[in-house]
Every structure is written in structure tokens, then in C-alpha cells.
Structure 1
Amino acid sequence: MTKTITADDIRKSVADHDVRFLRLAFTDINGKLKAVEVPNSQLEKVLSNDIRFDGSSIDGFVRLEESDMVLYPDFSTWAVLPWSDSQGGKIGSLTCSVHTTDGEPFAGDPRNNLKRVLAEMKDMGFSDFDIGFEAEFHLLKLDSNNDWTTQVPDHDSYFDMNSDDESARCRRDIVETLESIGFEVEAAHHEVGDGQQEIDFKFDNALTTADRVQTFKMVVREVARKHNLFATFMAKPLQNQPGNGMHTNMSLFKNGKNAFYSKDNEYHLSDTALYFLNGILSHARAITAVANPTVNSYKRLIPGYEAPVYISWAAKNRSPLVRVPSAEEVNTRLEMRSADPTANPYLLLAACLTAGLDGIKQQQQPMAPITSNVFNMSEEEREAKGIKPLPSTLHNAITAFKADKLIQSALGSRLSKSFISSKELEWAQYTQTVSDWERQRYMEY
């Protein structure tokens, strides 16, 4: 679990590792990692929450007339990054929450919002929301100008062992870099698609895991560049290839025990787990807007690949939205398979937790589990089993989000308004864009 780090620990680490710059990271509404970088001469200001920045240019933050924001670093996220500045000094990193100038947590900060929802969870008697993310990514070749291409460095497939190609060397370097900054990497392997990779790190509480996935993505990109490769977490970067998912494994803990486990119930799922599951399924269409927040996301959520398309659940079957992996008591969990790595992890976990907690309050059992492949069912068979589809476009997902007051409450009024505005603008821009496919198909009409 999260280690305790004090201000004195950070002061000592700065001195011991010749840290010349401090990178203060935070996340905007679209899940993009932002940072303010200051020299080590500002260390005491950093440690006393006295670093300010202009929030008016950050997506989803504030208007010009209220632009001053203050960064409150979370000391537990301290890491000395394994690369140096031009003079050979190290860079220290801290993940921050954003506050107003009067010291109040800023409601437009996705990290603060997750902390708010976690406090509501604790008010219901639960101690932790444990999360494991499985964020897939593609490695692509760079051109002579160091820009990305769609050429892949390998044509390996799932779990293929190739010990000395570009991808394998890069993947190992990413693992070693992550471990050097405190990650416990549990597995690293090639995924199904050409150039597609997966690196899994240890489960932890929701806030810590959301922080880590943001750092993970940054490290992956930086190390890939060292190998003259480009790393992308885009949901569907290559046509006719599998897309990148971010399977989201969830467990609730109470009094030190996994509240999702029951020795006697089927699948070893407690009633709490089943109620939580029903909450996820009931609000799945609105959650999809948060879990799959780009136009491109919906080119992954199509039949023919492993990504889910329908709202259902199962134990061993991998075609439904939520799967129950076989696990011992402490690791009993629900795995939501729809999310992709373009999702803002703080908003995603806030939405899932709010839906699940509401399911616990409602105490309703979910639909029956699906034992056969959902994709092979006819529309009539799915309808008879109560299986509804996920939204097929970003537009449909935002429509579902706008109709779901509970999932809007998971983000709070400020973030919900900003999220809707940002995604509606994205959709409008997409619908006005003329693609090469359209020109090839329609130019001679």
C-alpha cells in the first residue's frame, strides 16, 4: 500500500540524488498529464503548497477572471525520474491536487473529485476501493523527422517470445524504469496486435492507482523515444488490428477484508459484489462516455475483436462487459473490460465507484450471467436475455451521460458541464472533418 513520505524525506532525496528540477504534475479533464517545472531553489515553496499557476488555459479549469490556481503535492507520489537534465542533474516528480488561492480543493480538478467520491465510500463503511488497471499500448516506428508512423517494429502476437527485437528491448527498458521509481511490475508481454504491448503493475487503492497510470503512460512514452519508437495509448491506432483497452479490476474492502468475496455464493461473489455489479450494468451506457471518451474509442468497441459491445456479465466468458476472474479471496474482483487508456482515470474510477455504491444502496441483483458468446447471439436472443448494446459513437455516449443524473453526480456539476462541453465540441469537429476514406469513395459521384 501507499508508503509514508515526509517533507524531510523529500529534502534528503533532492540532496542525495542531485535533483535540479521539480516536476509538479496534475491532470486536466481530458486525462492529459500537465506539469509545472521549477528549479530546486523553489523546494520549500513546493513543500508548503506555495506554487501557483494560471489555470485559465487548462481544459476544464477556470475562466480568466479566476485563473490563479495553487498546487498541493501529494508527498507519497515523490519519485526521482531516471533521466537527467542537460547538466546531468536529476528531475524529481510529485503528483498534485489543484486548490484555489484560499486553500479549498478546486472542484474542477479530476483528482480532487475522486477523493470526494472516495470519502462518500468511506461514509458507507468501506475502507478501500482497490484497482488494477491493464493499460495496453502500441509501439510504432518514427520517420526521419522523428514523427510517428503507422509502421510497427514487430508482427508478434499474444505472449510471443522474441527476446531481441525492438519491441522486446523497449518493453524491458520500460519495466526497469518503472521499477526504479517504485512500481512493482507483475507482468510484461506482447499483446494480440502487431506492435501491441501490455505491462501490468500491482493493484492498489484507487487514488494511488490513478496516479500511477498517469505516471506509467509518461514513462512509456519517454522510454519509447529513447528507442526511436513512438508509444500510443490511442484506442484504435491501426485499422484491422486489435485496439488498446484498459481493463479495470475493482474490489471493495471493509474491515481489512474483501467485501466482494463470499465462500458460499456462486462465483464466490458476495451480495455486496452483485449489488455493485448491478450498479455498473445499470449505468453502463453513461459510464461509457467517461470510459471511452474519444471519437476513436468507438472504433475499438465493435464486433469481431475482444472488446465488449453489449451490457452483460460472466465468469469465464470474455465477451461481456464485466467478467469475474477466477481468484482467491483477497483478489476477488470485477473486471470491466470496456474502458480504454484514453480515459481520464480519476473520472473513470469516480463514475464506476458511484454507480457501484448506488447499486449497493438499491440492493438489486444483476441480470443472469451469460455463458455463451454474446457476439454469436441473434438480436432476438440478446433481447430475450435483456442484453442491451453499449453506445456505438461518442455522440450516443454523451447523450446517455446527459440523461444519467447519477453519473453526472459522480463528476460533480462543474466537471460534468466541462466534460459535456469538451466532448460535444470534439464530436462537432469530427462530423465536420472530411476524411481520405470519404474522398476515395465519393469524389467521382
Structure 2
Amino acid sequence: MEQIPERVTAGQTLNAHARARLGARAAETARRLTGQGIVAVALTWVDISGITRTKTVPVERLEHAAAWGVGMSPVFDVFLLDDSIVSGRHIGGPVGDLRLHPDLDRLVPMAALPGWAHAPAHRYAQDGTVHPLDTRAVLRRETDRLAGHGWSVKAAFEIEWAVSNKNGSNKNEANKNGSEGEGDGFFPACRGPAYGMTRVTELAGYLRDVLTALRETGVTVVQLHPEYAAGQYEVSVAAEDPIGAADTAVVVRETIRAVSMEHGLAASFSPKVEADSVGNGAHVHLSLWRANADGPSNAMAGGDGPCGMTAAGEAFTAGILHRLPALLAVGAPTVASYLRLIPSHWAGAFACWGLENREAALRFVTGADGERATAANVEVKCVDAAANPYLLLAALLAAGRDGLDADRGLPEPVGVDPAGFAADERAARGIDPLPSSLAESVAAFEADTVLRDALGEAVTDTVSAVRRGEIDLLDGATPQRVAAVTRWRH
């Protein structure tokens, strides 16, 4: 009998044997879930606007869903953040259907949603072929391409969010915060000093429940701390393979959202919660690894290159740096993203890199002496949580892979805030500002043949259509209006 892999990967087709294997595994999984009190499974995907969408099935239908999928319209990929719909050359309109198949390897009971489990979905056409807009499949394709050259990547997202009381004290305060109605504004649930222990004390029970729910869902939390803006926190998780990292990012956000609601609070992951405050980032940490006879080695450490990088680590990082303007159409994908991406706000508004420089778009992190061989990584700071995490990681890996192929080198590191240089000095040093608008980044993306080839024509065309749709949607809007429209969507 034909050997069917436990996981159907990008480029493979679901055939009768694969469907039978998936159904049998799902039946066993369903029995286990029923014993744990699970009654339903949410099959999720992240659309091009960065919003997690779902179809759900009762646990007793998991076997059928795994083998034959759950129907959905392809049109969701051209939804804008307000749920209006645009059309691209490949996707749009009411006609057509896809099938969602749960990834049984990544199915987890959600501690914050008793009775529910979560499974990221593979998306297939009716004939069993992988759909070209399945961004998990696009990311798997990029990891496979790197693996074909002997490389793997570890990745992790830092998740920043802002916590609001659900209703403000009065309507005037709501209007001041850019609200469109009572309760739509942002009202910080804690007001202690930035990074202060006071903020932990103010919401100690809430933060305890966030950490408990994440641990019980299987997420390894590295740290949690108060952030700069009022009501803002950040959680960091352990590095994983890229697909696992993106899956975890979705689970973390939905866990935080659920715990917040249970506490009578609301969580915003928007890149700009309030127009006059700092925004939420979703920084990506990446390290490049090579399998050796003595075990895997981190190309970000132990070399003779800048800050101890190997030649491969430098080339991979340089590839990302070189494509940052185009990458922003994927990683900073909303109009609100460019309210966050401003100089001297630790958002990385200039295309440069530096050792532990939080104003550089790429911050190189060595880790403490004694753990650099495992800890060294590059942090991409100019991206935010409005991004589809699968698509963002796929684009970053493609850029890094191109850097490896081209043997790119890094310019001199920047050790200060680039905004402190005069414009002519920045130009002399080759430090360019990143795009200041979504329109600029989309133009760079559309001109980038490396990303177009890596992501595929259907993805790149749909990204452009959705981004231009949002530009039109918010054309002429004030920063306050942009923040209000975006605040509760991601």
C-alpha cells in the first residue's frame, strides 16, 4: 500500500489513502477530546488582512472534517478589516468553494475556552490540491526550500497588546479617544508607570490567568512584562519551527482575548490603539540553523562576521534588510501601521541594523555570554500584529534565502538612534527611512520580483488588492479615525 505521510504538505494532493489515514487519526483524536470535555473544534485560518477567521465543527464531526474538509468561500481572502470585500484577479465574488482540513498535529484544547479546541486549517480546493492562497502552505514551501539547502529556522513572535475597560466613564471620554460610540474607545485598565511593577499589581489576577491558560494550552512562555503605553503588556514565547511559531501566535492572541473578556476587559492588538500613543508591535525573532555531525549549529553565532555571525547568518540577515520596504506590505499591512512606524518610538523606522539597537529595524541580539550559541538571533522590529503571521514568516524566509543565494553582506551596524543623524549624514551612511505609508510599501512590494516568485502570483496579487482596498477605505481619515476603525479588528 502507498505510504501516506501523517501530514499532507504543500504541493501534495489529498487522495483516497490520505483521506482514510486522516479520518482514522481524527476519530482517535475525537475520542480523546470527548474524554477531556471538548465539544467543538475551531478550524482557523488567517486572511490577507491579518484577521483570524473560523469554521467550527462538533467534535463528533472531526473525523469527517479531517478526511473531507469543511466548506468555505475563497472570498474571505479579499475581506478588508471592516469586512467589506474587494476583488483581485485571482479571488473575489460569491462563486467557488474551498475545503478546510484541521491540522491534527497542531490541534490543542483551549484552556481559556472550556469545551473548545483549536486547529489551524489546511486549505484545499475541491479536487484535493492545495489552494494557492493557503498561507500556511506558502510558509511550508519556504521552509522546505531552505531545508533543501541544509538550513532550518527557529522563529518566535513577541505579542504586545493593550488592555481596556470595556466601557469608559462617560461619552465625552469615548469621543476623545476616537470612539464611534459608547464603549468603542480605549480606556486603559491599568495606569501604573511604564514597565512598572504597579501594572502587574493592578491586574495580577488577570495576568495570572493569562499565564495559566497559556501553559495549560501548551504554550511555553519565556516572559511577560508591562510595556510602555498605558494598559500595555507583552508576552514572549519559546522559539519553534516557523509554522509552529505562527500557529502559536494565533493561539496566544485568542487566549489573551478570551481571558480578557472573562475578566470584563477588552484586548487590542492593533498597531495603533490610540493616535497619540505608542502602538503594538509583533516583533519576529529569527535564527538560522545548520545540521552538522555534532548537532545543529546556530549561524547567528560562532563566526567571524559582524557581532559573531557566520557568513551565512550575515547573508540571511542582509537579505531581510535589503527587502524591508517591500516586506512592510506584508508585515506592516494596515494604514494604522504607519502611525506606529515613526522615528524615536522603538518601532524601527529606518532600514538599518544594530547590536541591541531598539531604534533599528533589525536588532541583533547575541544573548548573554555562555548562551550565545543557542540564543543569538535577529529581531525584526518594524512589523506588527495586523500581519498574517504565516505570510510574514514566508516573506522573511524568502528574503533571507535570497540573501544566502546572493551571498549578501551587511553594512556597518548603527549604534545610535538614526533619527539623531542629519538627513545628509544618514544618506552618506546608506540609512534610508522605511516607507511612511501603506501606499509606499505596496509599491515596493509590487516591484519586488523575489517576493513575487516566492509567494506566488495569486498571493501577491491578492495582497496588493487588499492593501489598496484599505488605502481607499481610509483615504483622508484623520489619525484618530484610523485608530478607531482598526482598534478592535485584530
TM-score with structure 1 setting the length: 0.91
Counterpart secondary structure, 1:203 = coil
Alignment match, 2:361: 321
2:407 partner letter: Q
Alignment match, 2:321: 281
Whether the 8 Å contact between 2:74 and 2:96 is mirrored in structure 1 is yes
Counterpart secondary structure, 1:198 = strand
Provide the rounded CA distance (Å) in 1 between the counterparts of 2:206 and 2:223: 15
Candidates 13, 18, 30, aligned match of 1:11:
30
Alignment match, 2:425: 381
C-alpha deviations, 1:329-383, integer Å up to 9, x for none?
A: 0122111111111111111111111111101111121111112221111111101
Candidates 316, 334, 346, aligned match of 1:294:
334
Provide the rounded CA distance (Å) in 1 between the counterparts of 2:476 and 2:358: 36
Counterpart secondary structure, 1:48 = helix
Whether the 8 Å contact between 1:28 and 1:109 is mirrored in structure 2 is no
Q: How does 1:310-349 map to 2 (within 5 A)?
A: 310-327=350-367, 328-349=372-393
Q: How does 1:341-420 map to 2 (within 5 A)?
A: 341-420=385-464
Counterpart secondary structure, 1:313 = strand
Provide the rounded CA distance (Å) in 1 between the counterparts of 2:318 and 2:190: 41
Q: How does 1:68-217 map to 2 (within 5 A)?
A: 68-82=97-111, 90-126=115-151, 128-143=152-167, 147-162=183-198, 165-217=201-253
Matched, 1:421 2:465: yes
Change (3 A) 1:401 1:148: same
Whether the 8 Å contact between 1:27 and 1:109 is mirrored in structure 2 is no
Whether the 8 Å contact between 2:301 and 2:376 is mirrored in structure 1 is yes
Q: What is the deviation of 1:48?
A: 2.0
- Runs of at least 5 residues in structure 2 that lack an aligned partner in the other structure: 1-5, 8-21, 80-89, 169-180, 483-490
Whether the 8 Å contact between 2:327 and 2:396 is mirrored in structure 1 is yes
Greater alpha carbon shift after TM alignment, 426-435 vs 322-331: 426-435
C-alpha deviations, 1:98-135, integer Å up to 9, x for none?
A: 01111111001111111111121112221x21101112
Number of residue pairs aligned between Structure 1 and Structure 2: 431
Counterpart secondary structure, 1:356 = helix
Q: What is the deviation of 1:263?
A: 4.4
Q: What is the deviation of 1:166?
A: 4.9
1:133 partner letter: F
Change (3 A) 1:437 1:220: closer
C-alpha deviations, 1:240-275, integer Å up to 9, x for none?
A: 322111111101111122233224444111111111
Provide the rounded CA distance (Å) in 2 between the counterparts of 1:311 and 1:174: 35
Q: What is the deviation of 1:14?
A: 1.6
Provide the rounded CA distance (Å) in 2 between the counterparts of 1:296 and 1:399: 17
Matched, 1:34 2:62: no
Q: How does 1:46-57 map to 2 (within 5 A)?
A: 46-57=65-76
Provide the rounded CA distance (Å) in 2 between the counterparts of 1:208 and 1:174: 20
Change (3 A) 1:436 1:201: closer
Matched, 1:249 2:322: no
Counterpart secondary structure, 1:159 = coil
Provide the rounded CA distance (Å) in 2 between the counterparts of 1:84 and 1:288: 33
Provide the rounded CA distance (Å) in 2 between the counterparts of 1:416 and 1:28: 13
Candidates 299, 308, 331, aligned match of 1:259:
299
Provide the rounded CA distance (Å) in 2 between the counterparts of 1:436 and 1:364: 41
TM-score with structure 2 setting the length: 0.83
